[in-house]
Structure 1
Amino acid sequence: MVDYIRVRALVNKHLNELSGVLRSQVNVPLHANPELGYQEHFAHDTITAFLEGLQLKLEISKKTYGLETSFEARFGSGGRLVIFCAEYDALPGIGHACGHNLIATASVAAFLATAHTLAQLQIPGRVRLLGTPAEEGGGGKAKLIEAGAFDPPEDVAAAIMAHPVGMHQILAKGDEVGLAGPILVANHKFQVEFHGKTAHAGGEPWEGRNALDAAVAAYNNVALMKKQTRPDDNIHGIIEDGGVAPAIIPGYTRMSWAVRSPTCERSELLAARVKKCMEAGALASGCTVNYIDSPTYKDLRVNSTLCRTYVDEMAGLGNNVFLKQRMEFHASTDMGNVSYYVPSFHGTFVASTLGVPIHSPKFTAEAATDDAHDATIECGKGMAMLALRVLTDDQVATGAREDFEKS
């Protein structure tokens, strides 16, 4: 029998000791050096160098699974396997406004506490830290699944991570520090290119075919269509390339779209309607249209056993986390794709109590605070305990697998 009181004490003590160095060598450097998806070379090098400098016998692989900014660290032998997913990409213009510096720190912390406890107690179990680039639109985890990072899926007892949020986003009521089972929706993403014909806008406009007109018409078509969509559908797009000069009729424009709905099936059907709006814009302006599809983010399959276990273990550490989401929040993640492949946990933790929305410059500032780091370490403790329960408790591991297969 495993003494979970002792296990909890080991995890708590170890991460209290590591908190300062995690802040100075992982959290702060990542926040100060934001990088876009698939360009996270600084984050890749910083995290792997930190791991290499520890007095722990880790197997570390860099530039893994065909991705220059993915990595993998492994510890343990025998028993079950748990994978912690670390995100570290940032947003264009506003840096770590989604707090991925905190996600990376939490997953590194949880991985190290789990490995330390396995070593101290000399119990079987395997734990892996997987660097997962490009969550913000690039579908890094979808590509990692295709490359075999979670194979064989029957060998993975759980994949684990957590995301920072503002207190208001989960309706926390003062003492609650997180949510175990968020509702995260599917997201079909694509770029659309309109090809027309350049001409002098003043002298010979009849010689041109205006690709910007196609984009504007398409945008307005979607705005009209949205009046006849379900309340829990969400469609948003931007013009990425709208031309080069007013005197030149644009022969090329490009837009980027995200089509969200509660399930993959509904998002695909809605995306097909959106593409009809693109085609109508192209037809009206005499242009042609081309699509560049990105990996679809699947809705998150919430695993009841993993969520309940996390809530219980966080309570054991003195933290109040509630189980189920209380409000709609139509966010998406490529961790949803992982949840369709192996039993998965994607919790949230409160990194800001100021009512600051994520994906805003104010949240970028919040993601650098001492309070946000402290919340990250507490979440790392809870995720480590969740992993250790999966690795050592047959009832939890079996329940997680059964929940995955039923859903």
Structure 2
Amino acid sequence: MDIKYGTQDESIIDFIKQAIEERNAILHEINRKIHENPELGYEEFKAHDNVASLLENLDYKVTRHAYGIQTALMAEFGFGGRVIAFNAEYDALPDIGHACGHNLIATMSIGAFIALAETLKKYKIQGRVRLLGTPAEEGGGGKLKLIEAGAYSDVDACMMIHPGPEDGCAGYTGDAYMPTLANKKFTVRFTGKAAHASMSPWQGVNALDAVVLGYNGVSALRQQILPAQRIHGVISEGGKRPNIITAHTSLDYYVRSTSLKSADALMERVVACFEGAAIQTGCKVETELINTYADVRPNKPISTLYADAMNKIGSPVRCDVNSPPVPGSTDQGNVSYECPAFQGYVGIPADPGSYNHTAGFTAAAGAEIAHKLCLEPAKGMAVAGWQILSDESVATQVWKDFEEDSKVRDLDEDIRVSVKGGGCC
């Protein structure tokens, strides 16, 4: 990328680093509070209040319960100019707590917000920095609601960093360019007719048979999908008693692909398997879409700015703008369709096999070393944000990339047939 770095001088970097390091104690405290009080999506009341109180105690204006969402918040500093947003996730997973490290995501975004706000105070340029507390990333689609409410309508760049195991980083501390898969979540329900399974089975219409046939049909379909695509589901309702022909069954499914368009096409094939099962058994079938997470389409200039900042800070990250997608999904993808955005990666020490969404990673995300390592991406995001606010030519390149990417979003992206493995490389 041909990006001018005229405003990324050493004095700015030093000021941002100092701004974060001086607030290490309060950042560590909010990290600890979120990690020790795991809350599920849309129930993050403690996290919401603790983050809001931290910022209010620093004299930032905070909107609690922002955009009509009880556990969302918004803080903003500055005037006029362009807008940089940092997303702070803080929801946890059932039973295993912060096994995706959202406590660290929140800490990094809070740190970046404070550092960039302090830089705006010092240098008195036009521009605004916004922190968004975004609930329910783990399936609940909190950012989808924020998008609908207009939270990103005036944003020039939105940033966040996701933690994961440092295995495979190969000399880097993380990754600056990480596309993800689009994910369509839906429920399938079959309706049959109950009957006594021994005395009069011919009177029944077996919804359990429909579930089994549909499940097996999708399993066979997996042989004919692209390497980057993913289909996975569970039977959420399979019947009550062996001696009753089952009248009602259901499944929950995720369908992932490299773009929204290809995910739509793959979902049609999956739904056809269930429709075929309904025909075979005589059941009725209905499909309910829960929500759709778009693929993260990282903005190349933002990713490059962040990578360059991290290199100057002394915490180099990988940045390959031809990188294939990681096989995960996030509602940050929907944000990347609304405004220039990226979601980077930071590696933290974790025991072998302790990947995201495991109890082992919950422990890793709460370790002091993880907090220390995550201060560096906070600095990198703040430096990149400063460049976009202070340099018109950089901001122009950011929007040019976003607009060019928007032109190809409706094209079939399935040529990206490989996926990136675990770790940040």
TM-score calculated relative to the size of structure 1: 0.92
- What SS does structure 1 have at the residue aligned with 2:293? coil
Amino acid at match of 2:178: P
Alpha-carbon deviation of 1:322?
0.8
Residue in 2 aligned with 1:384?
382
- Cα distance between partner residues in 2 of 1:100 and 1:244: 38
Percent of pairs with identical residues: 44
Alpha-carbon deviation of 1:210?
3.0
Answer yes or no: is the 8 Å Cα contact 1:139–1:294 preserved in 2.
no
Are 2:409 and 1:400 aligned? no
Amino acid at match of 2:297: R
Alpha-carbon deviation of 1:326?
5.8
Residue in 2 aligned with 1:293?
289
Residue in 2 aligned with 1:216?
212
Are 2:22 and 1:22 aligned? no
TM-score calculated relative to the size of structure 2: 0.88
- What SS does structure 2 have at the residue aligned with 1:279? helix
Alpha-carbon deviation of 1:209?
3.0
- Cα distance between partner residues in 2 of 1:93 and 1:213: 32
Residue in 2 aligned with 1:365?
363
**1:90 counterpart (69, 75, 92):** 92
Alpha-carbon deviation of 1:353?
4.9
Residues 157/200 of structure 1: CA separation in 2 closer, same or farther (3 Å cut): same
**1:32 counterpart (33, 36, 43):** 36
CA displacement 1:224-255 (0-9 Å, x = unmatched): 11111111111011122333444444332221
Alpha-carbon deviation of 1:352?
2.8
Answer yes or no: is the 8 Å Cα contact 2:177–2:323 preserved in 1.
no
**2:252 counterpart (256, 267, 270):** 256
Deviates more, 1:277-286 or 1:369-378: 277-286
Residue in 1 aligned with 2:131?
129
Deviates more, 1:125-134 or 1:202-211: 202-211
Answer yes or no: is the 8 Å Cα contact 2:192–2:206 preserved in 1.
yes
- Cα distance between partner residues in 2 of 1:245 and 1:27: 47
CA displacement 1:296-350 (0-9 Å, x = unmatched): 2112222111111111111111111110276663111111111111111211111
Amino acid at match of 1:146: E
Residues 282/3 of structure 1: CA separation in 2 closer, same or farther (3 Å cut): closer
- Cα distance between partner residues in 2 of 1:388 and 1:306: 11
RMSD: 1.9
Alpha-carbon deviation of 1:110?
0.7
Amino acid at match of 1:95: G
- Cα distance between partner residues in 2 of 1:385 and 1:90: 29
Residue in 2 aligned with 1:69?
71
- Cα distance between partner residues in 2 of 1:198 and 1:185: 40
Answer yes or no: is the 8 Å Cα contact 2:230–2:256 preserved in 1.
yes
Equivalent residue runs for 1:37-48 within 5 Å: 37-48=41-52
Alpha-carbon deviation of 1:200?
4.1
Residues 326/303 of structure 1: CA separation in 2 closer, same or farther (3 Å cut): closer
- Cα distance between partner residues in 2 of 1:74 and 1:323: 29
- What SS does structure 2 have at the residue aligned with 1:291? strand
Alpha-carbon deviation of 1:295?
2.5
Are 2:320 and 1:315 aligned? no
**How many equivalent residue pairs?**
398
Answer yes or no: is the 8 Å Cα contact 2:20–2:111 preserved in 1.
yes
**1:332 counterpart (321, 326, 329):** 329
Answer yes or no: is the 8 Å Cα contact 2:8–2:387 preserved in 1.
no
- What SS does structure 2 have at the residue aligned with 1:315? helix
Equivalent residue runs for 1:269-288 within 5 Å: 269-288=265-284
Alpha-carbon deviation of 1:124?
2.0
CA displacement 1:10-31 (0-9 Å, x = unmatched): 211121122222222x212212
Answer yes or no: is the 8 Å Cα contact 1:167–1:354 preserved in 2.
no
Structure 1 stretches of 5 or more lacking a match?
none
Amino acid at match of 2:292: T
- What SS does structure 2 have at the residue aligned with 1:156? coil
**2:17 counterpart (12, 27, 30):** 12
Deviates more, 1:123-132 or 1:289-298: 289-298
Are 2:331 and 1:344 aligned? no
Deviates more, 1:236-245 or 1:71-80: 236-245
**1:230 counterpart (226, 229, 240):** 226
- What SS does structure 2 have at the residue aligned with 1:320? coil
- Cα distance between partner residues in 1 of 2:68 and 2:191: 33
CA displacement 1:76-106 (0-9 Å, x = unmatched): 1122111111111222232211111111111
Alpha-carbon deviation of 1:3?
7.0
- Cα distance between partner residues in 2 of 1:263 and 1:327: 12
- What SS does structure 2 have at the residue aligned with 1:275? helix
Alpha-carbon deviation of 1:51?
1.6
Deviates more, 1:31-40 or 1:78-87: 31-40
Residues 206/135 of structure 1: CA separation in 2 closer, same or farther (3 Å cut): same
